[in-house]
Amino acid sequence: MTSTPILTVEDLRISFGAVNALNGLSLELEPGRALGLVGESGSGKSAAALSLLGLHRGTGAQVGGRILLHPRPTGAGEIAEPVDINTADDETLRRIRGRELAMIFQEPLTSLDPYHRVGDQIAGVHRLHFRSGPDEARARAAQALEQVGIDARSKYRAYPHEFSGGMRQRALIAMALVLEPRVLVADEPTTALDVTVQAQILQLLGRLREEIGLSLILISHDLAVVGGNVDDVLVLKSGDEVERGPVREVLTRPQHAYTKDLLNAIPRLDAELPTRIAASAEPLLKVTDLSVVFPSHRGSAATTAVDGVSLELLNGESLGVVGESGSGKSTLGRSIVRLQKPTSGRIEFAGRDLGSWRGKALRDHRRDLQLIFQDPASSLNPRRSIGDSIAEPLIVHGEKDRDRLRAAVDGMLERVGLDDSLYHRYPHQLSGGQRQRAAIARALILRPRLVVCDEPVSALDVTTQAQVVKLLRELREEFELTLVFIAHDLAVVRQVSDRIAVMNRGRIVELLPAAGLHEAQDPYTRALLSAVPELPVA
Amino acid sequence: MSRNNDAQPTLRARLWARPGGRVALILVGLIILIALLAPVLTALEGQDPNTYHDNLLNSATGGGPNAPFGGISAAHWLGIEPTTGRDVFARLVYGARISLLVAAGATLGQLLLGLLVGLAAGLGNRWADTLLSRFTDLVLSFPYLFFSIALLAIVPQSFPRPVLLCVILAGLYWAPTARIVRAETLVLREREFVAAARLYGASVWRVARKEILPGLAAPVVTFTALMVPSNMVAEAGLSFLGLGVQPPTPSWGQMLSTATTWFQTDPEYVLVPALTLLLCVLAFVALGEEIRRAVDPKGAGR
Amino acid sequence: MTAFLVRRLLAAAAVLLIVAAVVYGLFYLMPGDPASLACGKRCDAAELAQVRQTMGLNRPVYEQFWTFISSIFAGHAYDNGVGTVWCSAPCLGYSFQSDEPVTQLLTQALPVDVSLVAGAAVLWLSLGIGFGLFAAMRPNGLRDKATTFVGLAFGSVPIFILALLLLLLFCVWWQVLPFPTFVPFTQNVGQWAENLLLPWFAIALTFAGNYLRLTRAGVLEALGQDHIRTLRAYGYTERRIVARHAVRGALPTVATIAAMDIGGVLAGAVFTESMFGLPGLGKLMVDSASTIDLPVITGVTLLASFLIIVANTVADLLYAVLDPRVRIS
């Protein structure tokens, strides 16, 4: 089927000052087709996406090459001749934006104007381009909202902050549809959303493609997300194209080593489980009917984050806690290490009531309970070298000898796979993965017995994620840790856990062995399972 | 334990690196130097701030200086004061001392009080925070100027005025500092590295000292740098109204106050202290702005 | 909304009460005899005793304070030796030096401040926001740096110096304007405005300097927000984005601070009034301070507090109205 492509990108190069983000990307997008652009941070995929709408203009970025937009075969539309978006004049570019190509972004929570009603914003776009009257624009906006599954009658006059994250992204998609563009560029549209919501949005995009023949450029770091939703895929690494082809081909028979790495790094629901460590029979941690209620603050109602949770953790066991945002999993984790005071309920550690510890006894027991935070950029003091940060727990507990301290820190650095020359480096000088390793080193230097990992890999690239998860598994064995691994990603949790607790709205809805996930009974768990994007099997 | 070579350069270094910062630092340094060396400078000139020189006055103008330009001469570098004949330059540099002294004292007081209340509110429990915040809000509702005026009028003259000025300015204007300290402390407190520190057993004290205070340094320094010129203006204003330091102690505000009646016949007498005050305020404000930019280069609106 | 208002009113009342207590305590319990202070230098022993009686200084402190507070609502009868003077509500005391109820002095002075604020606020907001926008349109360019510098300079000038310079320029050297006096609005609008021109500009130029920088910073920060990127992606012109949407983002902050500043100026622009001879609250304060007319001092301070508290409440309300994300409940 040879039809004129909508978009032809020739040798697109983008650099920001001395940094080259993209080194010569070429591609073609045909009508009705969907293309996936996959890469990790620094691959240049976002820079490429922004350039398609000429959004680098005025920012000081240097853009080279050509991005040719071809006119519509029907003759309608904004342009009569092919236009190079890189060199088009401002007026033409403004007319093209939204009308020929529309874009949705990664941050749906903040991409809508907070000061205007949602419906009005969408209608405003219509009026801007078509100079339509207020009634016509309003009708079109309502229509667009319905198309994305939002009830226009009740929600047209709402403000963005009244919408959930998923709804805001839908509203943004509605805005993208209202001018009837040919191409939708979706830059990581689901990364900031819960996995069930992600599935809905991807489904919506698929439906729109079918219904109105919308072409799609889907950018993501997640090959699995891209996998089920595009026709062709292009893999980028550090600004260079590494592999491309029909999506099934690339995912089942990858040619390039990097693609293979990416694929291997994705946690799969059907992957091998870690070998179970023989756990002792006595529970190390016993949580009974724990509740954490955050008091009402300035008008908003009191929120129950954790609602009557009970569980037992055996010594040496690894428990995974899965839930979406607002499920209470983080609050549960923090309560276990006494970072958060429970409102009611009981937590027993090694047979003793956590709540009864005070003063010096509490400080001593701090050695046994540790937590690894999600974002090492904020869990490490930016003004301290990582060596000092790692040494700090020892200093607080009385170690004063410099040589011993240094030796201990060097030992830990080595254990977590960091070169001990990095001792004097500051967090901002390290990569995300290195920072998280440093944070892990700090958590383990006191030889704790129980470690709660609160979304420890969510802020990392997929390949780095795999490495850190592997590290955690090894350390668990070596240090004989009891782990509580909290994440929103079922597949990731499964890699490290013996048992999995699924949380929804503050309650544990299901508790089952990791090996038995596919036999889950609870509807919420099943929804979570089905929402995980599947990679096609070879 | 670790060397600082990878750390970010110190504030002073960063300030010096900027051309604007360099100018501001030099100007401010000059001003402080002049104030400190007031006796030396006046000795150089050969005058002092209090001697009357009636012979140089013209009784026809009601006491205006005889010589043109307000009486500028080799002996009197900036002329003489009407009705008294006192040397303007000498009064100016001695007045600088008062200005800087009160500004410094007031700023220090505001800083201390603001830090105290702000830290206590930010670090304490909810009850302490609510109480202290309400108290701060209360103080913010006071009409500062009126209060200062009223207090200065009522307190008897026997109490040393510069000290009183410092006390009043510090006691009334600490609230904005407290607010900023509290806000910054709350932000820092929520940072995960503070939680991490509590996790491995660091005491509240240690956390405050090692994790929070360093983070406060930048915004506090910035804010303080801008408080100094505010206090200078406040002191000048109160002296202008006749409520600040009393004669014969020289003060720029006071000089301006008497100058207003003379600006038709002896404009120099107005312009000299006015421009001097203006220059000093601008120098300190410029320094404050440069500090703000050096501290937060990626802040909005650079 | 009503719940918010009620809560704020109660809080405001509480604050006012505390301020009244502090003011009263400070001034009346200070060293020095309040009666002689209130009466002035010219009083002899008999008058002094009379004043002390009238002011109720012979009674215990809490009773005095209670009388003071209740007079605000119910009025009070003052026996000044000649007869009784009825001081109707709100009664803030009686000035023996001027032989008038304090409230009267205040109501005479207030219109001056209102006139002052009205003109000055309009000026400083239009100048400040206008130039702030102007600078923000092309950040870090020459015009931005020049505008910001000028704004910084004007914003730092002590107002009495600016007033002095304005007087020098316009009344002495160039002689385009007469020395200002106050002509009430109700008497002659033209002269009212002409005489207030210099005071308006004195205040406005100082504030404009700060509002310029405030607006600029607010607009630039708003421009960095994600929803601005969305607007660009749909083809809105840069001009429209800055002038409408970025300003809208800066508006809550600027409006809030403007409300508070208006309250501050209303509560008495001491220096401006002194320099230009305007008989407003500020001048009243300075005059009563120099003669140590305690009842007036107390009354003016209380009124000023009241105005500031009202302004702060309005500021909070404004913020909630302008930013739909902030819920008032």
Instruction: Kindly report, residue by residue over B63-80, the tens digit of the pLDDT.
Output: 666 666 666 777 777 777
What was the pLDDT predicted at B247? 77
Contact status, residue C20 vs residue B141, Cβ threshold 8 Å:
no
The yes-or-no verdict on residue B10 having pLDDT over 80 is no
pLDDT at res. B299: 43
- Classified by CATH at the fold level, domain A7-100+182-265 comes out as Rossmann fold (3.40.50)
Question: To 10 degrees, the CA torsion angle through A414, A417, A422, A425?
Answer: -130
Chain A residues whose beta carbon lies within 8 Å of the beta carbon of residue B204 = none
pTM, two decimal places: 0.83
Dig out the tokens for A475 from the structure. Answer: 């350390």
B300 Cβ under 8 Å from any chain A Cβ: no
Work out the burial of residue B125: count CB atoms within 10 Å of its CB; fewer than 13 is exposed, 13-18 middle, 19 or more buried: exposed
- pLDDT value at residue C187: 80
Residues 47-76 of A with CB under 8 A from C: 53, 55, 58
Buried b (16+ CB within 10 A) or exposed e, A408-446: bbbebbebbbbeeebbbbbbeebebbbbbbbbbbbbbbb
Per the prediction, chain C carries an average pLDDT of 83
Per-residue pLDDT reduced to its tens digit, A6-32: 999 999 999 998 889 999 999 999 998
Share of chain B above pLDDT 70, in %: 89
Where exactly are the structural domains of chain A?
Answer: 7-100+182-265, 114-180, 283-296+303-531
b/e A93-129 (16+ beta carbons within 10 angstroms → b): bbbbbbbbbbbbbbbbbbbbbebbbbbbbbbbbbbbb
> Does residue B63 form part of some domain?
no
Whether A458 contacts A489, CB under 8 Å = yes
Q: Which residues of A touch B206 (CB under 8 A)?
A: 396
- Indicate the burial class of A74 (C-beta count within 10 angstroms; 0-12, 13-18, 19 or more): exposed
For the segment B277-299, the average pLDDT, to the nearest whole number, is 80
What is the reported pLDDT for B123? 83
Q: What is the mean pLDDT of residues B45-63?
A: 71
**pLDDT at C21 exceeding the cut of 90:** no
Work out the end-to-end distance of chain B between its first and last CA atoms, rounded to an integer number of angstroms: 35
From A4, A191, A173, select the one nearest C233 (Cα to Cα).
A173
Tell me the three state secondary structure of residue A233: strand
User: At which residue do the structure tokens 């949407």 appear?
Assistant: C245
pLDDT of residue B152: 83
Are A92 and A107 in contact by the 8 Å Cβ rule? The answer is: no
- What value does the mean pLDDT take over residues C140-149? 88
Residue A271 has pLDDT above 90, yes or no: no
Task: Give the chain A residue whose CA is nearest to the CA of C250.
Answer: A115
C-alpha to C-alpha distance for B196 and C148, rounded to whole angstroms: 42
Residue with more model confidence, A215 or B155: A215
Maximum pairwise Cα distance, chain C: 84
Mean pLDDT, rounded, for A466-488: 91
Chain-centroid distance, C-alpha A261: 19
SS3 for A500? strand
Kindly identify which residue of chain A lies nearest to residue B187, measuring between CA atoms: A378
Q: What mean pLDDT value characterizes chain B? A: 81
Q: Are A523 and A301 spatial neighbours (Cβ–Cβ below 8 Å)?
A: no
Kindly list the residues from chain C whose CB atom is less than 8 angstroms away from the CB atom of residue B255: none
Residues belonging to chain B: 302
Mean per-residue pLDDT over chain A, rounded = 89
Ramachandran quadrant class, A239 (left: phi over 0; alpha: psi -120 to 50; beta: rest): left
Q: What is the pLDDT of residue A485?
A: 95
If you ran DSSP here, which 8-state letter would residue C246 be given? I
Helix axes B267-295, C142-156, angle to 10 degrees: 120
User: What confidence score (pLDDT) does residue B1 get?
Assistant: 38
Q: How distant, in Å, are the alpha carbons of A485, C167, C191 from that of A304?
A: 22, 65, 65
Confidence of residue A187 (pLDDT cuts 50, 70, 90): very high
CB-CB under 8 Å, A367 with B3: no
The pLDDT of residue C41 is 62
CA distance A59 to chain C (A): 12
In this structure, are residues B243 and C289 in contact, taking their beta carbons and an 8 Å threshold? Answer: yes
ipTM more than 0.85? no
User: Is 70 exceeded by the pLDDT of residue B224?
Assistant: yes
pLDDT tier at B7, thresholds 50, 70, 90: very low
Residue C33: pLDDT over 70 = no
Reported as a pLDDT band with limits 50, 70 and 90, residue B4 is: very low
Q: Which residue has the higher pLDDT, C76 or A208?
A: A208
* DSSP 8-class letter at A354: G
Q: Which residue has the tokens 């802040």?
A: B299
Number of structural domains in chain B: 1
Between residues A282 and B5, which one has the greater pLDDT? Answer: A282
CATH number of A283-296+303-531: 3.40.50.300
Give tens-digit pLDDT for A70-100.
998 887 778 888 999 999 999 999 999 999 9
Q: Are A171 and A148 in contact (CB under 8 A)?
A: yes
- Nearest-5° angle of CA B22, CA B25, CA B27? 105
What local confidence, expressed as pLDDT, does residue A139 receive? 95
Planar angle of CA C300, C305, C311, nearest 5 degrees: 125
Residues 106-125 of C with CB under 8 A from A: none
Residues 2-31 of C with CB under 8 A from B: 15, 18-19, 26-27, 30-31
Nearest chain C Cα distance for residue B132, angstroms? 14
Distance CA B215, CA B188 (A): 7
Q: How far apart are CA B262 and CA B242, in angstroms?
A: 17
Q: How confident is the model at residue C82 (pLDDT cuts 50, 70, 90)?
A: low
Cβ-Cβ contacts under 8 Å, A426 against chain B: 6-7
Tell me the residue range of the domain where B252 lies: 96-299
By CB atoms closer than 10 A (0-12, 13-18, 19+), residue A13 is: middle
Q: Is the pLDDT of residue C115 over 70?
A: yes
> Does residue B275 form part of some domain?
yes
Burial B139-153 (b: 16+ CB within 10 A, else e): bbbbbbbbbbbbbbb
Q: Which H or E run contains B123?
A: helix B88-123
CATH number of C102-326: 1.10.3720.10
Q: Say what percent of chain B tops pLDDT 90.
A: 11
Tens digits of per-residue pLDDT, B205-216? Answer: 788 888 888 888
Chain A hits for B197, CB-CB cut-off 8 Å, are: 392
Classify residue C279 by burial, with Cβ atoms within 10 Å: 0-12, 13-18, 19+: middle
> What 3-state DSSP class applies to A344?
strand
Q: Which distant-in-sequence residues (6+ apart) come within 8 Å of A114 by Cβ?
A: A159, A160, A161, C227, C323, C324, C325
Q: For residue C80, what pLDDT is reported?
A: 61
Residues sharing a CB contact under 8 Å with residue A361, sequence separation 6 or more, in sequence order: none
Judged against a pLDDT cut of 90, whether residue A68 lies above it is answered with: yes
∠ Cα C285 B241 B80 (to 5°): 160
What span, in angstroms and rounded, lies between the C-alpha atoms of C193 and C170? 15
Residue with tokens 């409520």: B243
Q: What's the rounded Cα separation, in Å, for the pair A242 and B140?
A: 62
A339 has pLDDT over 50: yes
pLDDT exceeds 80 at position B282: yes
Please state which of the ranges A191-195, A389-393, A481-485, C46-50 shows the lowest mean pLDDT: C46-50
Residue C241 or A275, more confident = C241
Residue A255: pLDDT band (50, 70, 90) is very high
CB contact residues (below 8 A), chain C span 267-296, against chain B: 267-268, 270-271, 274-275, 282, 285-286, 289-290, 292
Mean pLDDT of all residues in A172-184: 94
Question: Confidence class of residue C38 from pLDDT cuts 50, 70 and 90?
Answer: low
Distance from CA of B202 to the nearest CA of A (A): 6
- Average pLDDT score over residue span C209-229: 91
For chain B, how long is the longest CA-to-CA vector?
A: 82
The per-residue pLDDT for C189 is 82
pLDDT at residue number A1: 46
Could you tell me which of C158, C268, C295, C162 has the C-alpha nearest to residue B239? C158
Interface of C with A in 213-272 (CB under 8 A): 225-227, 229-238, 245, 248-249
Report domain extents, chain C.
35-91, 102-326
Assess if residue B136 is contained within a domain.
yes
What distance in Å separates the CA atoms of residue A90 and residue A106, rounded to the nearest whole number? 25
- Say whether B2 and A387 touch across the interface (CB within 8 A): yes
Which of A96, A112, A128 is nearest residue C230 as measured by Cβ atoms?
A112
CB A441 within 8 Å of CB A472: no
Three-class DSSP labels, A234-254: EEEECCEEEEEEEHHHHHHCC
| pLDDT, tens only, C278-299 | 889 998 988 888 887 878 888 8
Measured in angstroms, the CA of A19 and the nearest CA of chain B are apart by 19
Subunits close to C (at least 3 CB pairs below 8 A): A, B
Provide the residue type at C295 as one letter: P
Residue B287: which CATH number? 1.10.3720.10
User: What confidence tens digit (pLDDT) does each residue in B109-124 have?
Assistant: 999 999 999 988 888 8
